[in-house]
Chain A
C-alpha cells in the first residue's frame, strides 16, 4: 500500500510539473460517476478504467453509481455541482446529446466541460438469422407491400437502439409503415427478436453477437472488419446525418472547469486509455477505444448535439 502511494505521488509530481501550474490538484479522491447501475456496461467500463486513471492522475479514484431516468438523474445532479474536477461523469451520446433534447432536464449543450472521449462503437441494424431479409432492398419491398405489418424493437424510447432503427427506416423512407415496440433494455428486445415478435433491432456489434443474428447495414464510415459483406448505411442509400451512428461515451465535468485542471484530467485520461491494462480490458470486453482530447471532444460533442436533433425529429420524440 505504501509502495503504491509512493508510486502514485511520484507520477502525480511528474504530471504536475509538466502541467506547469502546480496548484496541487488533485488533493483528494476523484469520483467517477456511472449514471447507470453497478454491474452495467458503463459501470464496468469505468471500473476497468479507474485503476489506470488513478495511477495516471496520482490520487485515489473511485467509481460510484447514480442510476435512473436513462442517465439523466446523474447528469442533472452533476450539472449543479461546483466544477472542481473531483466529480466526473461518464456520459454516452444519449445522456449528453439526446436526452436533454427530448426531456425537460436542467442541463443542456453548455452545461459541461468535456474532458475526453473513451469509447465509440458504430451501431448495426440486424435481423434474426432465419429472417427472409438479406438486404435493405428486401426490407423496403416487403414493408411497402404490407404497410403496418413489420415491427422494429428498441431498448426504450430515445435509446441508441431506437435511434438506430429510426435512422435506418427513416433513411429508407419506410418509417411510417412500420411499428415500434420498445422494451426495457436490450436483453428483452433480443429475446423477442429470437422469438420472432419483432423483426428488426439495432445495437452495437458486441451486443449483436449475443444472439444468432445477421446484420443488414452498419452505421459506420467504412465496412466492419468482422462483417466485410455488410454494407454501410451510406452504401445502402441513407444520407447524412442519418448514415453514421456511434454509441460513444466520455468523461465530462460540470461547465467552467479551470483550464489547467482540465489539462491534467485530459492527460490522465489519455495515459489511462492508452495503458496496457486498459487495452487488455477493452480487448476482452469488446470495447472499441476511441480517444479524443478535451478540445477535439468538445467540438465533436457540439457537432453531435446539433446533428442528433434531426434524428430526434425523425423519431418523433
Chain B
C-alpha cells in the first residue's frame, strides 16, 4: 500500500480532491458545532451526495465530515456547555468552566491542538500499522471486551464531580436506561410496558442532548437574566504557546495512545475513549487537582482521545471489513455500492484507493487547525447575540438533530423528558457525565457479559483464569477503583 502513496497523493491534490476535503471538513465543523446536531446527522446529510461521486471522493467526503464534526462538537461543548455528541461530553467538564472564566479562546485552542495531534498520530498509525493492529483487534473476543468495558465503567468515579454516590447512581440510571427494549440474547422485550415505541429502547443521543443541552436551557431559564450580551467572551481561537505545554505533553501522548488503542477495538468507540482518557488524566496528570474546574489537561485528555479514535476505527474497517463504529459502517456500505467488497483483501486489491483514503485522512486532520481557527473567527459574533435567541435556537436545533437521528418523533419526547429530569437532577448536584457513560457502555457490558457466560457455560471465574488479557484489564479496573480511595485515606491520615 505504501508504494501507492505517491499516486494517491496525486489524486488528493486534484481540484476535486481538495474541494472535497476542504468543503467536507468545513461542513463537518459547522454541523458538529451546532448544538444538537452531531456526526450522525452530518453524515446523513452528505450521504446522498456521495452516491454520485467516485470511490475515493465519496469516502473522503464522509471522512472529512465525520472528523470535522467530531472536532466541531468540542466547540459547542466548551462555549455553551452543550455537547452535540456523547464523545464531547467529557470536554464540557473542563472546557465550560474555562469558558466561564473568560478563557474560551484558549480552551478551544487546547481542544484544537489536541484534536489535531490525536487525529494526525492516528492517521500515521493507520498508514503504517493497520494490519498489525487488526490482528490485535482479533485478540479481543467478548470476554476481553467485557473486561475493557469494566475498566471503562470505573471512569464514572473520576467524572463524578461533587458527590461520588450521586455519580454512581447516575451511572446506574444510565445503564438501566440502556436495558430498556429488546434483550440482546433472547430478543424478549424488557420494561416496554406494551409500548412498541420502546421496543427500540431509549435513543442514546436523545437522552444525551436532553440531559446536557435541553437541561442547560432550563438551568439558564432558572437563573436571573443578565441584560448584556453575555454568553461567553470569545473572539476566536487562541493557540497555547510552547511554554504552556510544559508538563502537559505526557498527558497528551497518553491520551492519543488511549484513543488509538480503543478505536482499533470494535464495539467501543469515541465516547468510551474520551472518558477513559479523561479518567486516566485525572489519575496521573500533574495538574489532576484542577480537573473538573477548568483544567486544560482535562480538555486535552478528552479531545486528543476522541479524535484519535477516528483513525483507530478505520483499522478494523479497512483491514478486516469490520466496521469500528456506526460511521465506519456507513463507509463500508458506501464502498460496497461502488463495487468494492470490504474484507481482508480490501487493501491488497485496491491499494491506490486505500492509500488515498489514509493520506486524505491525514490531510483532513491537518486542515482542522486552519479551518477551525478561521471558522471560529467568523462564528464569534454569533455568540454575542442575546441569550434568549441562543437558547431558543438551541431548543429548535436539538429538535431537528434528534428527529433525524432515527426519523422518529418519539425520540423528541424522550429528549424533552430527559431534559426535564436532567434539569431536576443537575439542581441536586447529580452529575450527568456518568449517566452518559452508563448509557454508552451499558449495552456492551451486558451483551459481552452474557456472551461470555454462554462461551464459558456460566463460569464467571473462567473469564479471568482462561483469558490473560481480560485478567490484566480486570486488575487495572480494580486498581483504578481502589487507588483514589487509598489516596483519600492517606491524605486524611496526613491531615
Q: Do chains A and B touch in the complex (CB under 8 A)?
A: yes
Q: Which residues of A contact B (CB under 8 A)?
A: 33, 37-41, 43-44, 47-48, 64-70, 72-74, 76-77, 102-106, 148, 151, 156-158, 179-185, 187-188, 190-192, 194-195, 197, 206, 209-212, 281, 283-286, 317
Partner of B342 from the list A69, A195, A210 (CB cut-off 8 Å) is A210
Q: Which residues of B contact A (CB under 8 A)?
A: 43-44, 47-48, 51, 137-139, 141-142, 181-187, 189, 194, 196-197, 199-201, 203, 266-267, 316, 320-323, 326, 329-330, 333-334, 336-339, 341-344, 406-408, 410, 443, 447, 451, 454-455, 457
Residues of B within 8 A of A33 (CB): 407
Residues of B within 8 A of A39 (CB): 43-44, 47, 329-330, 333-334
- Asked whether, in the complex, the Cβ of A40 is within 8 Å of the Cβ of B333, the reply is yes
Q: A39-B330, A67-B407, A184-B184 are in contact. Are A191 and B200 (CB under 8 A)?
A: no
- Asked whether, in the complex, the Cβ of A284 is within 8 Å of the Cβ of B454, the reply is no
Residues of A within 8 A of B201 (CB): 68-69
Residues of B within 8 A of A72 (CB): 196, 199-200
Residues of A within 8 A of B410 (CB): 73
Residues of A within 8 A of B342 (CB): 210
- Asked whether, in the complex, the Cβ of A47 is within 8 Å of the Cβ of B51, the reply is yes
- Asked whether, in the complex, the Cβ of A157 is within 8 Å of the Cβ of B186, the reply is yes
Please name the 7 residue pairs, one residue from A and one from B, whose CB atoms are nearest each other, closest first.
A68-B200, A39-B330, A157-B187, A69-B199, A69-B200, A284-B339, A66-B407
Residues of B within 8 A of A284 (CB): 337-339
Count contacts between A and B, CB distance < 8 Å.
Answer: 161
Could you tell me the distance between the alpha carbons of A105 and B187 in the complex, rounded to whole angstroms?
A: 13
Could you tell me the distance between the alpha carbons of A30 and B138 in the complex, rounded to whole angstroms?
A: 44
Could you tell me the distance between the alpha carbons of A142 and B457 in the complex, rounded to whole angstroms?
A: 19
Q: A245 to chain B: closest CB distance in Å?
A: 18
- Asked whether, in the complex, the Cβ of A103 is within 8 Å of the Cβ of B199, the reply is yes
The A contact surface, by secondary structure, is: mixed
Could you tell me the distance between the alpha carbons of A43 and B141 in the complex, rounded to whole angstroms?
A: 30
Partner of A38 from the list B203, B322, B330, B339 (CB cut-off 8 Å) is B330
Could you tell me the distance between the alpha carbons of A180 and B187 in the complex, rounded to whole angstroms?
A: 13
- Asked whether, in the complex, the Cβ of B199 is within 8 Å of the Cβ of A67, the reply is no
Closest residue of chain B to A315, judged by CB?
Answer: B187
Partner of B138 from the list A48, A156, A157, A195 (CB cut-off 8 Å) is A195
Closest residue of chain B to A317, judged by CB?
Answer: B187
**Seed contacts A181-B451, A191-B320; 9 additional CB < 8 Å A-B pairs:** A38-B44, A39-B43, A72-B199, A76-B196, A76-B199, A151-B454, A151-B455, A211-B321, A286-B341
Residues of B within 8 A of A43 (CB): 333
- Asked whether, in the complex, the Cβ of A197 is within 8 Å of the Cβ of B454, the reply is no
- Asked whether, in the complex, the Cβ of B337 is within 8 Å of the Cβ of A285, the reply is yes
- Asked whether, in the complex, the Cβ of B47 is within 8 Å of the Cβ of A48, the reply is no
Residues of B within 8 A of A74 (CB): 407
Closest residue of chain B to A38, judged by CB?
Answer: B44
Q: A48-B51, A190-B321, A197-B141 are in contact. Are A156 and B187 (CB under 8 A)?
A: yes
- Asked whether, in the complex, the Cβ of A44 is within 8 Å of the Cβ of B48, the reply is no
Residues of A within 8 A of B194 (CB): 104
Residue of B200, B410, B455, B457 with most partner-chain A CB within 10 A: B200
